[in-house]
Amino acid sequence: MYSAADKKRTTQVTISTLAKMKREAEKIVMLTSYDASFAKLCSDVGVDVILVGDSLGNVIQGKKTTIPVTLDEIIYHTNCVMNGNETAFVIADMPFMSYANLNDGLDNAGRIMKESGAHMVKLEGGKELVELVKAMAVRGIPVCGHLGLMPQSVHKMGGYKVQGREQEEADHMVAEALALQEAGIDMLVLECVPAVLAKRIAAELAIPVIGIGAGVDCDGQVLVLQDMLAITPGKRPKFSKDFMAGAGSIAEAMAAYVKQVKNKEFPAQEHTF
């Protein structure tokens, strides 16, 4: 069982670290962060991976979707995170339309890696990204994929809805995940998909699969920091949890999240589709 004594890392988390964690069935803990102070707290409490998500459009900028977030904003916030981070692996989202074609995708991913110091970039999409992922992989750019509910496509999807409920949709998502892995992604995020489908994808892929609203059987979990601290305005997503309830500090709440993910206590059934 994971305990508070295990939380402080002394070495940098790498892609190899995360691959080893999957092989050894140790849960990976990911949390969003957008500034140096929270990045430092993430490191202190044992968060393995920090995601500088385009969710900053919602929780930092107060916008209704992630679509308006710019490349310069992602680079700025990732720089802030890198200044506070000590040992966590840092992933930066590529914002809407920053990888609409291969050349733009390579150029903008290169900018993120060079100017922010991020360890990996994240893209939303399936088989249509295969050639871009291949091109990034051969140029040494680590890539995290993202399937299921894809916030950058919220208007096309008709809202924030669970994806992959029907068998045909589920099979298609599995095929897309395998295609992305073959192309060269090193990690995959599954958002708002049924737990049984997420379990199937995690079992079929050799790379770490991180869930958000995708059940406990993923290789790890990610939440938006403001959601789990219960400071996001409006209704909290079903898949999140108020970790501030009963905590004496923000650090305690974050440490509770780490512990519960590591011990497979979160997500529970009530956070699962």
Segment 13-41, tens digit of pLDDT: 999 999 999 999 999 999 999 999 999 99
Q: CATH homologous superfamily of domain 4-271? A: Phosphoenolpyruvate-binding domains (3.20.20.60)
Segment 102-140, tens digit of pLDDT: 999 999 999 999 999 999 999 999 999 999 999 999 999
Q: According to the model, what pLDDT value does residue 4 have?
A: 55
Does the CA dihedral 62-63-67-70 come out positive or negative? negative
Segment 143-171, tens digit of pLDDT: 999 999 988 877 666 666 788 899 999 99
Percent of the chain at pLDDT > 90 equals: 89
Q: According to the model, what pLDDT value does residue 162 have?
A: 82
Domain boundaries, the chain: 4-271
Rounded alpha-carbon distances, angstroms, from residue 68 to 34, 50, 107: 16, 22, 19
Q: Annotated active-site positions, please?
A: 191
Q: According to the model, what pLDDT value does residue 159 have?
A: 66
- Whether the CB-CB separation of 193 and 22 falls below 8 Å is answered with no
Q: Which of 51, 34, 7 is nearest to 210 (CA)?
A: 51
